[in-house]
Amino acid sequence: MVKKVLKFGGTSVGTIERIQHVAKIIQKEHSSGNQVIAVVSAMAGKTNELINLSKNISDNFNKRELDVLMSTGEQVTSALLAGALSELEIKAKSWLNWQIPILTEGEHTNARIVNMNIKKIDTYLTEKGVVIIPGFQGISKNADITTIGRGGSDATAVAVAKILKADSCEIYTDVDGVFSTDPNKIPVAKKIDQISYDEMLELSSVGAKVMQSSAVQTAMLYNIPLEVKSTFTNRNGTRIFDEDNIDYSKSVTGVAYSKDDAKVTITGVEDKPGVAANIFEPLNKSQINVDMVIQNISSDQKKTDISFTIKREDLLKTLDILKKNKNIKYENIIHNEKVAKVSIVGAGMVSTPGITYRMFRALSEEKINILAISTSEIKLSVIIDEDNTLNAVKKLHTIFELD
Amino acid sequence: MVKKVLKFGGTSVGTIERIQHVAKIIQKEHSSGNQVIAVVSAMAGKTNELINLSKNISDNFNKRELDVLMSTGEQVTSALLAGALSELEIKAKSWLNWQIPILTEGEHTNARIVNMNIKKIDTYLTEKGVVIIPGFQGISKNADITTIGRGGSDATAVAVAKILKADSCEIYTDVDGVFSTDPNKIPVAKKIDQISYDEMLELSSVGAKVMQSSAVQTAMLYNIPLEVKSTFTNRNGTRIFDEDNIDYSKSVTGVAYSKDDAKVTITGVEDKPGVAANIFEPLNKSQINVDMVIQNISSDQKKTDISFTIKREDLLKTLDILKKNKNIKYENIIHNEKVAKVSIVGAGMVSTPGITYRMFRALSEEKINILAISTSEIKLSVIIDEDNTLNAVKKLHTIFELD
């Protein structure tokens, strides 16, 4: 007997037919003798619908009440799924977060799960009941409803798996798993059978979003085996676990990319402590998300150039903030508003020599100019002109034998 | 300082604009120094939408989960109203039933409120906070969400008013109050300024539905003054209280009617104990709602005729059940499938002689044939051909000086 947490995302429960289909997936697990805890999202589109209602009242809607409002989305799905399981004559019950309870800390709309009471849940599982839990929410110390940020149902699933000591946590979604690159754009993209937490994090943060990053981090921290798989096919998904358990036959696991980026370079910045902080603090305060940061030593040893990338929509605001910033001295601000980031990701990269060189040569063969480079242990990212994105991804996918 | 329960029905909170309007009504009460507890319904149409989702899974959807599902409707309204009040800089908070808690007994989808914890609510009111409570629901002994039947937000409002010892309970709705007859059909209908609980019950049960009957009964039992008024005008509504406090200048308060009725007469039934029970028990079991019952002594002293009215849609089923009933002996079954019930209602009727005679004469002047008569202390109902309904109502409205 295995204890499994199954998480079903918004598209997986987007219609009544799909909820009935999810009930059948659970039925299969249940009749195999597994203990099943299902964590569900709101039906696709529902959370946005609720947020739009609140926005019609105020763009700055009371956050406590926004949580009360939004939490109904997952509550509806939980009730419908429990009802659909009853209809299949399976013992099942929706467990709202206050009924368990699942406890959170932190502010409204951005809390985090810190604990849950497992007693009643474990008893119900022992009695062969299927436990349905609305994701994305919890209860604060003051018994208020809290939510844990968009995509938070993944975090609920991982937290529940951790606290209930589940044997696995399966993330059912609308794709077959994690791919070597975007299958919608690059038809030769291949599903990855197994991947380490680190690689998953790098791939998901650069565009191959199938699972919320902080949930993967939690799974990594507590070593909870994950599997991302499709609700709509019977195929095996992608298993995500500790890299020690993964056999790296390939040095590169996948090629990720993000578009709609912009690059800003500040030249001739004084090279002394505190400069970077002075540049980025006001951007952070204005909620501008800075992605890659590269600092080059310029020819003049007292001065340096700092480049960074941001979302294109933040470009004008960023330039405005930089120009008004009295705390930095610089020569010039240059920007490029149509760039993309292309990354190769692989936990095996560190032990394979020549990866960097092969990447640069491949891009040069395609006559693609590299505007910036950034590396980590398991990722190598370049900034290029956006027009070259697909060419670059295809070429890298081929030369690293992912086709 | 006055403690008020204000209840807002589905049309009163049917759109964001209307919720904002309700927030302004509350703001006015709050700034007058009143303590305000608002009980809200789901936005118009929402409960049916949720029920339809469940029906797509099963016509016999699990009742516990149906309650979890339906209760989200009022939760959404509560959060939106609390947010709209915050936006007006009024201290306000949604109080979900489990947060109070409001305790219920009885089965899912049909529970009744038995108690609530007033401590936290009273403290919050003392701190000048506006309490928003989702109507129509509660929490069972087992900490499950329960609902208390359609229209149950009225019952919540009255129960909350009773337990919190509120000074009044105001039912905000989409009409100006209780009318002397249907204002949509009879333009001379007049709003009634004050009415007794009994009269209200008789008027609402025969077609002038502005408030749920069981909620009126509870208010009567605990002598809670009610006021039914419009959310959309500033007019005074109808005040409903103990008849001892009402000055009856008029003997008849209103004229009510119901259409879509059918009349069935069973002739030549043995006149002995148990006969009525034998007739009506199988109808009750098939959930056929029998309204008026009249028993006449026929010329043969050993036999009697029994007439009753039912909803027209139940006629064929009723005839079928009667014919299959082996426990009754009779001569004939006669039915009339297009009848209406017209009633005059007034707590002052009992002390005013000649009301009955004036009603019958008025109908006879209009050449309207009376098919059956039934009387109670405060109501006099006749069954007539449906085609004559509006003529009869107009005539009675005029002769009893209600125009």
Would you say residue B150 has pLDDT above 80?
A: no
pLDDT of residue B258: 85
- A386 and A292 belong to one structural domain: yes
Q: What is the pLDDT of residue B84?
A: 98
**Statement: residue B207 has pLDDT above 60:** no
Q: Is B51 part of a structural domain of the chain?
A: yes
Asked whether the bond before A101 is cis by omega within 30 degrees of 0, the reply is yes
Per-residue pLDDT band at B38 (split at 50, 70, 90): very high
- Please tell me the predicted confidence (pLDDT) of residue A137: 97
| Residue A201 is assigned to a structural domain of this protein | no
Give the distance from residue A52's alpha carbon to the nearest chain B alpha carbon, in angstroms.
10
Q: What are the backbone angles phi and psi of residue A334, rounded to the nearest 5°?
A: -115, 145
pLDDT (tens digit per residue) in B264-308 = 999 888 877 778 888 888 998 888 888 888 877 655 667 888 889
Q: What is the pLDDT of residues A9-65, one digit of tens each?
A: 999 999 999 999 999 999 999 999 999 999 999 999 999 999 999 999 999 999 999
| pLDDT of B326 over the 80 cut | yes
- Dist CA A348 CA A250 (whole Å): 7
Give the residue from A174, A190, A218 where a domain finishes: A174
Count of domains for chain B: 1
Residue positions counted in chain B: 403
Rounded Cα gap, residues A59 and A334, in angstroms: 34
Sort out which chain A residues have CB atoms less than 8 A from B72's CB and list them.
72, 75-76
Residue with tokens 């209200």: B200
How crowded is residue A28: how many other Cβ atoms within 10 Å of its Cβ? 12
Is residue A112 one of the residues assigned to a domain?
yes
Provide the token pair at B214: 């069981």
pLDDT above 90 (res B347)? no
- List, in order, residues 6 or more apart from A145 with CB less than 8 Å away: A67, A68, A71, A97, A98, A137, A138, A139, B96
pLDDT average, residue stretch B44-55: 97
**A67 lies in which domain range?**
3-174
Q: How far apart are CA B341 and CA B353, in angstroms?
A: 23
The residues on A that touch B, with CB distances below 8 Å, are: 16, 19-20, 50, 53-54, 56-58, 61-62, 64-66, 68-69, 71-72, 75-76, 78-80, 82-84, 86-87, 93-94, 96, 98-99, 143-145
Of residues B19, B65, B99, nearest to A79 (C-beta): B65
pLDDT of residue A199: 87
**Would you state the pLDDT for residue B166?**
96
3-state class percentages of chain A: helix first, strand second, coil last, to nearest 5: 35, 30, 35
Under 8 Å between Cβ of A144 and A97 = no
Identify all chain A residues contacting B95, using CB atoms and an 8 Å cutoff. none
Q: Please report whether residue A166 resides in a domain.
A: yes
CA nearest neighbour of B47 among B21, B80, B9, B88: B9
- The pLDDT-based confidence of B246 (bands split at 50, 70, 90) is low
User: Which residues in chain A are contacts of B86 at CB distance < 8 A?
Assistant: 58, 61-62, 65
Assess if residue A193 is contained within a domain.
no
pLDDT of residue A391: 93
Do B46 and B36 form a contact (C-beta atoms < 8 A)? Answer: no
| Chain B residues whose beta carbon lies within 8 Å of the beta carbon of residue A72 | 72, 75-76
The contacts found for A209-217 with CB under 8 angstroms, 24 or more apart, are: A210/A171, A210/A173, A210/A175, A210/A177, A210/A178, A211/A154, A211/A171, A211/A173, A212/A151, A212/A152, A212/A154, A212/A155, A214/A149, A214/A155, A215/A151, A215/A154, A215/A155, A215/A157, A215/A158, A216/A154, A216/A158, A216/A240
CA-to-CA separations, B247 to B45, B52, B191, B196, B240, in angstroms, rounded: 39, 47, 16, 10, 12
So what's the pLDDT on residue B132? 98
Show which of A125, A153, A174 is a domain's final residue.
A174
A170 and A24 in one domain? yes
Cα A24 from Cα A127, distance rounded (Å): 20
Same domain, A271 and A169: no
Of residues A159, A174, A75, A60, the one with CA closest to residue A118: A159
Answer positive or negative: Cα dihedral of B204, B205, B208, B211. positive
Residues of B in contact with A94 (CB under 8 A): 65, 68
Interface of chain B toward chain A, CB-CB under 8 angstroms: 16, 19-20, 50, 53-54, 56-58, 61-62, 64-66, 68-69, 71-72, 75-76, 78-80, 82-84, 86-87, 93-94, 96, 98-99, 143-145
pLDDT-flagged residues of chain A (< 70): 150-151, 204-209, 245-249, 297-301, 350
Top mean-pLDDT range of A258-272, B100-114, B179-193? B100-114
In angstroms, rounded to a whole number, what is the distance separating the alpha carbons of residues B343 and B379?
Answer: 6
Q: Is residue B113 part of a domain?
A: yes
Q: Are residues A271 and A162 in the same domain?
A: no
Residue B348 banded pLDDT, cuts 50, 70, 90: confident
Residues A13 and A152 in one domain: yes
Q: What is the pTM of this model?
A: 0.83
Position B12 in a domain: yes
Q: What is the β-pairing status of strands A226-230 and A194-196? A: unpaired
pLDDT of residue B117: 97
pLDDT at residue number A285: 86
**Closest residue in B to A134 (Cα–Cα):** B68
- CATH (domain of A104): 3.40.1160.10
Q: Is a pLDDT exceeding 90 seen at residue B41?
A: yes
CATH of residue A337's domain is: 3.30.2130.10
List Cβ neighbours of A297 (8 Å cut-off, separation of 6 or more).
A271, A304
Q: Specify whether the CB–CB gap between B124 and B100 falls below 8 A.
A: no
Contact B57 A80 (CB under 8 A): yes
Q: What is the pLDDT of residue B376?
A: 79
- Cβ-contact B53, B72 below 8 angstroms: no
Percent of chain B with pLDDT over 70: 94
Q: Of A151, A174, A197, which marks where a domain is finished?
A: A174
Q: What is the DSSP string of B140-180?
A: -TTS-EEE--TTHHHHHHHHHHHHTT-SEEEEEESSSS-BS
Q: According to the model, what pLDDT value does residue A175 have?
A: 87
Q: Using alpha carbons, list the distances in angstroms from residue B341 to A399, B261, B337, B345.
A: 86, 7, 12, 13
* CA distance to partner chain B, nearest, from residue A69 (Å): 5
Task: Answer yes or no: is A15 within a domain.
Answer: yes
- Nearest by CB to A98, which of B20, B50, B98? B98
Across chain B, mean pLDDT equals: 90
For residues A154 and A302, membership in a common domain is answered with: no
pLDDT of residue B350 exceeding 80, the answer is no
